[in-house]
Amino acid sequence: MTQTPSSRQAVLIEPRHFELREMTPPRPGPGEVLIRVKCALSCGTDLKFYRRGHPLFSFPTPFGHEFSGVVVETGAGVENFKPGDELMAAPTAPCGKCFFCARGQENLCVQVIDTMVMGAYADLLLLPAHVVARNAFRKPPGLPFDEAALLEPLACVVHAQAVALPRKVETCMVLGAGAFGLMHAILLKAAGVARVVVAGRGDSRLRWAADMGADLVIDARHEDVASKATALNGGYGPDLVIEATGQVSGWESALRCVRRGGRVVFFGGCAAGTSVQLDTRRMHYDSLTLLAPFHFRPADVIRARQLLAERNLGVGRIINEHRRLSELPQVFDMLERGDVLKCAIIP
């Protein structure tokens, strides 16, 4: 019997306070896989979690959920993986049996968040059987571990755009120049839409948006975003607006920016208890379509893996910093300042 080594794991004790603890990972049970983490990525959700906690998780809790690694040990019944395999995975998977799964809405599965894998800021990570069975894959040999760890966030973007259905003739506007906003812009460019416009804040983020192919970049600090939006598309405004700030002000701005007959995708999740006012007359007479896609389905994960394996998107450009696990406090300082889009944490 293999002796499971000790491991470091970051545990969030309370908002803005985490500890790097020594722990002994459990041995994998039936259907489970233990991996050595080769890369974990920072995420805007982790930053929100760090700042204010999360209504679905209690303290103390391990955190970090975007990862890739190498299989250390497998549990009974695991046939698709063996020790030494390079692995990429999403941190959740649906049950396939509940009310929502039966209707093709696996992203709303009753277990999907409750059984989410947390604790990727660590040396070792245990993957539960349902994730191993549905949303874990061998990493293509030529794909770097840091890009492989983009599987989960890219699946979220793929799902949102599958709901939004951007068309080649359209002008599409993204509100927010963070990691998710720029991933949306990259995917829209790859889809061949007529024009991609990004509105954001911060000199670095605006520069990154331009570097990643945005046709027009709007500085939301100094320019009236709604006025700029109205001038797009021959004065009609953008066909599709994707809100990726996760702020109430961003949701309200998206509603002001979209053209008559257009679509708004509320991608960024806001804090619990917040709300927006809706101009019902405009909603009705301008025939707006409002969409709020959440999470992803297995089909989105498969598509995201395909896109990463093809390596044509260049989505790895949003990973613009690499740090060691011991430097995690500095990583969150950089995220708070907006100095980094995504940081690869290498144990």
- Range(s) for CATH 3.90.180.10 in the chain? 7-149+314-346
Give the pLDDT band of residue 4 (cuts 50, 70, 90): low
pLDDT score for 1: 41
Q: pTM score, two decimals?
A: 0.95
CB distance 298 to 136 below 8 Å: no
The percent of residues above 90 in pLDDT, for the chain, comes to: 88
Per the listing, tokens 């939301």 go with: 220
Q: What 8-state DSSP symbol labels residue 54?
A: B
pLDDT in tens, 86-142: 999 999 999 999 999 999 999 999 999 999 999 999 999 999 999 999 999 999 999
**pLDDT tens-digit series, residues 245-254:** 999 999 999 9
Here the tokens at position 4 are 């499971």
Cβ proximity of 167 and 332 under 8 Å: no
Q: How far is CA 121 from the centre of its chain?
A: 16
pLDDT of residue 5: 59
Q: Provide the 8-state DSSP code for 255.
A: H
Distance CA 179, CA 58 (A): 26
Q: For residue 48, give the 3-state DSSP assignment.
A: helix
- Paired with 86 in beta bridges are 70
Please state whether 9 falls in left (phi above 0), alpha (psi between -120 and 50) or beta. beta
Residue 194 pLDDT more than 50?
Answer: yes
**What is the DSSP secondary structure assignment for residue 59, as one 8-state letter?**
S
CATH class of 7-149+314-346: alpha beta
DSSP string, 144-179: -HHHHTTHHHHHHHHHHHHHH---TT-EEEEE--SH
Measuring CA to CA, how many Å separate 216 from each of 195, 196, 291, 294?
8, 7, 24, 27
Separation between Cα atoms, residue 98 and residue 105, nearest integer Å? 10
Burial of 227: CB neighbours in 10 Å, binned 0-12, 13-18, 19+: exposed
Q: pLDDT grade, residue 55 (50/70/90)?
A: low
CATH architecture for the domain at 157-291 = 3-Layer(aba) Sandwich (3.40)
Q: Within the chain, which residue ranges are assigned CATH 3.40.50.720?
A: 157-291
Instruction: Supply angle C-alpha 121, 123, 125, rounded to 5.
Output: 75
Tell how far CA 281 is from the center of its chain.
34
Q: Any residues with CB less than 8 A from the CB of 103 and at least 6 apart, and which? A: none
Q: What is the pLDDT of residues 231-284, one digit of tens each?
A: 999 999 999 999 999 999 999 999 999 999 999 999 999 988 999 999 999 999
Question: Residue 177: which of 259, 118, 245 has the closest Cα?
Answer: 245
Q: Are 110 and 92 in contact (CB under 8 A)?
A: no
